[in-house]
Structure 1
Amino acid sequence: MAVFVRVAESGSLSRAARELKLSQPSVSRIVGTLEARLGTTLLLRTTRSISLTEAGALFLERSKHLLAEMEEAEQAARGVDSLHGVIRLAMPVLYGTRAVIPALAAFLARHPDLRVEIVMSDARQNLIMEGVDVAIRLGVGPLDDSSFGARRLALIERLVVAAPAYLAAHGSPANPGELAGHDCIVQHGVFGRESWRFTHNQTVTSIDVRAKLWINSAPGILAAAVAGMGIALATRVMAGEELRSGQLSQLLQAYRLDPAEVYAVFPAGPRPSAKVRAIVDHLSRALGS
């Protein structure tokens, strides 16, 4: 049943085989045995794709619930202190490197039978196809994965930053309105807007900035800012080292940006497994502090 779920969600025998550490013929044989036992076809296979039959779609939803219930039952029998198995955790690159991964050390030391597989990307992955148990996501405003379960873990201060070399060459903006005359670095996706919103003395102002660079990853944004290529938005967590070392300076400190929100997202729905709840509880304490 677990093999069938991974094949159905990933849409690929070979991908499921790699993730389950089985051979592709073994995966095909297991699914075939399941279909023979049920007396119906669950998957339609072609040379290029796999799709669910109507019976397969029904069986997939029930299978996922049954597997979750089985894991809960096993965990209840073992006790809270004996979490085991694999958690597949997705996260953005820079925030994951600087905040999430360091926070996992204590959790893994406390649960030696757990293994965490980390998927790092600043692109929005298809969490179902990737077989992700929980994803850490950053954003400003409502999440776009409304069908998933989610829990907010932390709020992070956002800053306007630039390198001293850029400021020496172009000057420092005295107020948000002056950003329109500067080269700005904008990130696709998460904070990918050319309109930056500031609050000052309870007055909200949106400024349309001039994007000199569009970059699709936070490490790229940070590298471009440090290289003196323009003014960028960053969170204090992501740019903390560069601010402390003097590679970047914080600008417009009297003006506040909306904070970034950190969420744990559950592709399987609002009732994650015990091991996922445990890691999210830990990250909530670590990241929220």
Structure 2
Amino acid sequence: MSDRWQQLTVFVRVAESGSFSQTARDLRLSQPSVSRIVTELEERVGVKLLIRTTRHLTLTEAGATFLAKARDVITTIEEAEYAARKTDSLDGVVRLALPTAYGSRAIMPLLPSFMEAYPNLQVEILMADERQNLVVDGDDIAIRTGALPDSTFGARRIASLERMVVASPAYFAKKGTPVTPGALSAHDCILGYGAFGRGAWRFKRGNTLISVDIRSRLTINSAPGILAASLQGLGLAIVSDVMSADERADNRLVRVLEGYTLEPAAVYAVYTSGPKPSRKVKALIDHLIRGLRPAG
């Protein structure tokens, strides 16, 4: 306990109980220590706060004024401590920033069970494909794919996304189907963002790495936009397994180059509370990991 905090606490307890001995018992101090602390407080503020007789303790006018202010200070500190503890509790609000397609298809299905498990938590979601500023936006967690820049934020890898090249049957009917990565240079390709298509596309087959420079007339900064363009036959695109599952299941999009692999995209939960997340942030991240990673 700091000297000033101890002095305030001891003085308020003495003034309210009217007893040095009772205060000593309450705070587990010796009676001489209580007397010394009050004397040091009076010396520091430069006025007499208590008039002591063998039978009674009486507040001076200055002591009464000081008592009121000291109570306010103690109350404010206690309220601040309570607010901090509540922030690190499993109630209140947790704010989550999500990329649109991945958030809708992978994260949203996991929220009903999370909200059922933690009925005192409210969830606020911001969905956007550009990387949000967690501090400015006031988010607790952001879900991000691909490499992370160095930062003071905490981060946990929560999943890995298989990436693949797809296009619509209409596109293949018009332009043909590439059977090797090298053939992509003769095709229309849709460029996305980050791990989903800017610049060269890099494939692996066995131990061989293949890099292909992509020709594109169309660049789109959102996953739903890339899907929509692919469905309209505008070109080949890199998508994730989660992002394109429904469209591939009903053959609106078809995967090509299955003998070649693209590096998976890591998915991270980034949080603002440094290396150690708050309890509610940890609870949500743990829940997402359990839902996103395959059992066993």
Q: TM-score, normalised by structure 1?
A: 0.71
Letter in 1 for 2:286: D
Letter in 1 for 2:202: R
Deviation at 1:202, TM superposition (A): 1.1
Q: In the alignment, which residue of structure 2 is the partner of 1:86?
A: 93
Deviation at 1:73, TM superposition (A): 8.8
Q: In the alignment, which residue of structure 2 is the partner of 1:235?
A: 240
Q: 2:154·2:274 contact (CA, 8 Å) conserved in 1?
A: yes
Give structure 1 stretches of 5+ with no counterpart. 1-65, 76-82
Q: 2:160·2:264 contact (CA, 8 Å) conserved in 1?
A: yes
Task: Give the SS at the match of 1:137.
Answer: strand
Deviation at 1:188, TM superposition (A): 3.0
Q: What is the CA deviation profile of residues 116-159 of structure 1, one whole-angstrom value per residue up to 9, with x for unaligned ones?
A: 000000011111100010111111xx312532110000111101
- Worse-matched range after superposition: 87-96 or 266-275: 266-275
Q: What is the CA deviation profile of residues 93-123 of structure 1, one whole-angstrom value per residue up to 9, with x for unaligned ones?
A: 0000001011111010111111000000001
Q: 1:212·1:230 contact (CA, 8 Å) conserved in 2?
A: no
Q: In the alignment, which residue of structure 1 is the partner of 2:115?
A: 108
Q: In the alignment, which residue of structure 1 is the partner of 2:207?
A: 202
Q: Does 1:137 align with 2:144?
A: yes
Match of 2:84 among 37, 45, 70: 70
Q: Distance in 1 between matches of 2:291 and 2:196?
A: 24
Runs of 4+ in 1 over 4 A off after TM superposition: 66-69
Q: Distance in 2 between matches of 1:169 and 1:67?
A: 67
Q: Distance in 1 between matches of 2:87 and 2:215?
A: 56
Letter in 2 for 1:204: L
Q: RMSD of the alignment, in Å?
A: 2.0
Q: In the alignment, which residue of structure 2 is the partner of 1:267?
A: 272
Deviation at 1:70, TM superposition (A): 2.6
Q: 2:189·2:215 contact (CA, 8 Å) conserved in 1?
A: yes
Q: What is the CA deviation profile of residues 209-234 of structure 1, one whole-angstrom value per residue up to 9, with x for unaligned ones?
A: 11221001000000000110000000
Letter in 1 for 2:93: V
Give structure 2 stretches of 5+ with no counterpart. 1-79
Q: Does 1:246 align with 2:251?
A: yes
Q: 2:102·2:242 contact (CA, 8 Å) conserved in 1?
A: yes
Match of 1:127 among 134, 142, 151: 134
Q: How does 1:1-289 map to 2 (within 5 A)?
A: 70-71=84-85, 75=89, 83-139=90-146, 142-289=147-294
Q: What is the CA deviation profile of residues 254-282 of structure 1, one whole-angstrom value per residue up to 9, with x for unaligned ones?
A: 00000011100012311111000000000
1:181–1:153 Cα change, 3 Å: same
- From the CA coordinates, give the structure whose radius of gyration is larger: 2
Q: Distance in 2 between matches of 1:68 and 1:127?
A: 24
Q: Distance in 2 between matches of 1:120 and 1:190?
A: 19
Q: What is the CA deviation profile of residues 236-262 of structure 1, one whole-angstrom value per residue up to 9, with x for unaligned ones?
A: 000000000110000000000000111
Q: Distance in 2 between matches of 1:117 and 1:74?
A: 17
Identity %: 50
Deviation at 1:191, TM superposition (A): 2.8
Q: Distance in 2 between matches of 1:252 and 1:197?
A: 12
Q: 1:72·1:274 contact (CA, 8 Å) conserved in 2?
A: no
